[in-house]
Amino acid sequence: MRFLLDWLRLSGLAAVFIAIVSAQTPAAAPSDSGDDYQRIFGVLPNYLTVSDPQAGVEPLTSREKFVLFARQTYDPGTIAGAALGAGISQAHNGDPKYGDGSGPYGERFGAAMADLTSQNFFGGVLLAAAFHEDPRYFRRGPQYGFWNRFGYSLSRVLITRTDGGTDRFSYSATLGMAMGIGLSNVYYPASSVNGTEIASRFGTSLISSALSNILPEFWPDIHQKLFHRKGKPKDGSGAPKAPAPAIKQGAAELR
């Protein structure tokens, strides 16, 4: 329980910091920059996705990578997902094996948030800046077929775009995932820290990261079908018109 209290204090400080950073970030002018797509079904945060695959996108600064990490990680939808995951683990006493009861549930929830924070920070901020890689997901777009887009979305867990606009192996995401899992050994119970468990956690994280790209890839198409509004520009991309060159998708909306 002490771990959970320490985590809540840290989360509170992080929330204050995010509010300060967001207040200092200039608001973007009204535009069709993908605001409708920042939440999937109005719940799941989708700040890391570049919705319009045809838009010219500027690279992110290190500060913008940090702000995106913080906003995505501490979003209420993300926190609710961690709470749900902790509940599922609690129900069958899965990893991390803290035991039964309200205390162990709090520890599981704290561990889930710590896992998210460490992996997202290492991969999306620290290593992304060091390797000059872009932590955002760039959609393939509806000009390609379903299976092409499906395979593309899964592949982006291992392939990323650099700040220079080229594709390559994602060192930041892969190493960041490994570093986060290594750090989790500090606060996981001894029964959940061994070679088999660590390998299983890495595989699970890899698979879940790959699957998490599927909805962002198809969400603009789904949104257009379910919530199409008259007057919405149709450019054949399944997404709004490209923003002005000065606007950075996934970063300009942080206000």
Residue pLDDT, tens place only, 177-208 = 999 999 999 999 888 888 888 898 899 899 99
Residue 167 in any domain: the answer is yes
134 lies in which domain range?
A: 2-227
**Is residue 232 in a domain?**
no
Q: Residue 237 domain-assigned?
A: no
Please, which pLDDT band fits residue 35 given cuts at 50, 70 and 90? low
Summarised one tens digit per residue, pLDDT across range 199-254 is 988 998 999 999 999 999 999 999 888 877 544 444 444 444 444 443 455 654 44
Confidence check: pLDDT of 11 > 90: no
Q: 245 lies in a domain? A: no
Q: What is the pLDDT of residues 129-139, one digit of tens each?
A: 999 999 999 99
Residue 124 lies in a domain: yes
How does the average pLDDT of the chain come out, rounded? Answer: 79
- Is 151 within the bounds of a domain? yes
Query: Is 247 within the bounds of a domain?
Result: no
Number of domains present in the structure of the chain: 1
> How would you write 170-236 as a 3-class SS string?
CHHHHHHHHHHHHHHCCCCCHHHCCHHHHHHHHHHHHHHHHHCCHHHHHHHHHHHHHHCCCCCCCCC
pLDDT given at position 99 = 73
Nearest Cα neighbor of 201 from 81, 112, 83 is: 112
